[in-house]
């Protein structure tokens, strides 16, 4: 199941427009905040799919039953670009545990690369709900590699992928290599992927825009 929020007009589109806009991108604080807001909205929409249980809440004037999350998910993200989106999800799932994975492309040519994972910090995820966030899903290979790395900590009962921008190539690759019950919440799906695996129109390098260029 793919949930594409661009299919519905809302204030969410303003946040997407701003992270794409080359003039607004000169303000890294605004870029980070928009990534955070995008993941907050995606997290809210995702939360509608999670299991709930009724809890009796006592107010100063009486009692009422309110549905609350049955269990807390594990929030995972890919360093470093995913940190802004992770914070947005953590704002809403504020009791969740976190997992962090360092993954990067190692190019053999301008067009060919492999994904390397160098660092993993994660709680146990056996029979838990796993939410993995990353701003850009270009080919999907980083997401699949990160998912496989996290499996060292157990098998999740359900996985959600959260991204600001994706491509049809990434969706197809992830659906072919991730469990069938994985759901995807994305802000937009851009149709073009260059030979160097960059999304067009995309937005550029999310990590550089948020935290500065790397050398």
Q: Which domains does the chain possess?
A: 2-211 (3.40.50.2020)
Hunting for tokens 């999670």 — which residue is that? Answer: 50
Q: Is there a contact between 142 and 115 (Cβ–Cβ < 8 Å)?
A: yes
Residue 187 has pLDDT above 80, yes or no: yes
Note the pLDDT of residue 108: 60
Q: Report the predicted TM-score, pTM, of the whole model to 2 decimal places.
A: 0.91
Residue 195 has pLDDT above 60, yes or no: yes
For residue 115, name the pLDDT band (cuts at 50, 70, 90): confident
Euclidean distance between CA atoms 25 and 18, whole angstroms: 7
For residue 75, name the pLDDT band (cuts at 50, 70, 90): very high
Q: SS3 of 170, please?
A: helix
Mean pLDDT of 75-101: 94
For residue 80, name the pLDDT band (cuts at 50, 70, 90): confident
Note the pLDDT of residue 111: 59
Helices and strands (H, E) in the chain, number of each type: 6, 12
């Amino acid at each position: 199941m793919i949930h594409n929020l661009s299919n519905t007009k809302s204030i969410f589109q303003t946040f997407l427009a701003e992270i794409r806009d080359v003039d607004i991108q000169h303000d890294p604080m605004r870029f980070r905040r928009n990534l955070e807001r995008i993941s907050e909205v995606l997290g809210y929409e995702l939360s509608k799919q999670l299991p709930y249980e009724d809890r009796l809440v006592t107010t100063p004037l009486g009692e009422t039953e309110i549905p609350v999350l049955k269990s807390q998910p594990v929030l995972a993200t890919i360093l470093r670009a995913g940190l802004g989106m992770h914070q947005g999800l953590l704002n809403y799932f504020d009791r969740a545990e976190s997992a962090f994975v360092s993954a990067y492309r190692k190019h053999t040519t301008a067009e060919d690369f492999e994904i390397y994972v160098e660092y993993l910090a994660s709680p146990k995820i056996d029979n838990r709900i796993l939410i993995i966030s990353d701003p850009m899903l270009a080919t999907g290979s980083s997401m699949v590699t990160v998912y496989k790395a996290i499996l060292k900590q157990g098998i999740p009962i359900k996985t959600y992928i959260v991204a600001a921008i994706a491509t049809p190539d990434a969706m197809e690759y992830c659906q072919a290599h991730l469990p069938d019950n994985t759901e995807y919440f994305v802000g937009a799906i851009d149709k073009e992927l260059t030979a160097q695996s960059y999304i067009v129109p995309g937005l550029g390098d999310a990590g550089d825009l948020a935290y500065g260029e790397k050398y």
